[in-house]
Amino acid sequence: MMKRKILLVEDEIIIASSIQQWLEELNYSVSGIAPSAEKAMILIEQQIPDLILMDIMIQGEMDGIELADRIHEKYSIPIVFLTAYSDDITLERARISGPYGYLLKPVTQKDLSIAIENALFKHQEDFSKHIRQKEKMEYMLLDAVKAGIIISDEDGNIIYVNKWAADQFGYDIKKVSGKRLLEVFNRTNIVEEAEYSTAQVQFPDKRKSRVRYYLSSVQNKDESIKGILLFFEKI
């Protein structure tokens, strides 16, 4: 299993060295140690870490909270603050920046371990929730389209049918999921083949309608096939 990469932003050499040793003992990989915001941004651009341990008081014009805000503008990286300050103003500024944890110095290895694991877990939960919400919104938009949209996985198994397509074919959306794409929309549905990807389609209730349709592959970033998209609309 690949080790989780942690960037340590700490300007006190002795503390940074101790924390690095603890992290390595906990089976984490320290991707770098930065004493300032400028150095931290350089290290992040070179290699994006899985988590950042951030001291609030660091070298330079920008403190750890300001640096966290800048990082959040560009990256989705969980940040756990380290600080010797517990005054209300500092705590409130830190809270507003949205950290995944907050540790008061001096820290122990156990506290560090718990804070990191909790932060990584919560960040994964937040990411999964964001993806689910995004997919839900996308499907809501697809359901609003007055045209048929059917999506299958790379093996041709249907994973999504929008409401318009299900209504036209008289299918229960839940029952269609898992069927083969060619079971729902295949050559036998096409009564008359025409040019420009138009066809005369016969629906299960014997209705016939001329439709414009196309099939398109859905690709991953590496251009491998992720699935198939079928779009069709009445002419």
Tens digits of residue pLDDT in 91-115: 788 777 777 888 888 899 999 999 9
Give the C-alpha separation, 207 to 190, whole Å.
12
Provide the CATH topology of domain 5-135.
Rossmann fold (3.40.50)
pLDDT of residue 173: 66
Strand order in 158-161's β-sheet?
158-161, 148-153, 225-234, 208-219, 198-202, 190-193
Q: What is the pLDDT of residue 210?
A: 73
User: What pLDDT score does 143 carry?
Assistant: 79
Q: Return the pLDDT at 162.
A: 86
Cβ contact 183:200 at 8 Å: no
Q: pLDDT value at position 132?
A: 81
Residue carrying the six token digits 């069709």: 232
pLDDT at position 182: 66
The hierarchical CATH code for the domain 145-234 is 3.30.450.20
How far is CA 161 from its chain centroid?
23
* Tokens 């909790």 sit on residue: 118
- In DSSP notation, 135-169 reads HHHHHHHHHTSSSEEEEEETTSBEEEE-HHHHHHH
Spans in the chain with pLDDT lower than 70: 1, 172-178, 181-196, 198-207, 209
Residue with tokens 């389209």: 145
CA distance 228 to 154: 7
Domain boundaries of the chain, sorted by first residue: 5-135, 145-234
pLDDT given at position 196: 47
Q: Which residue has the tokens 């990469």?
A: 5
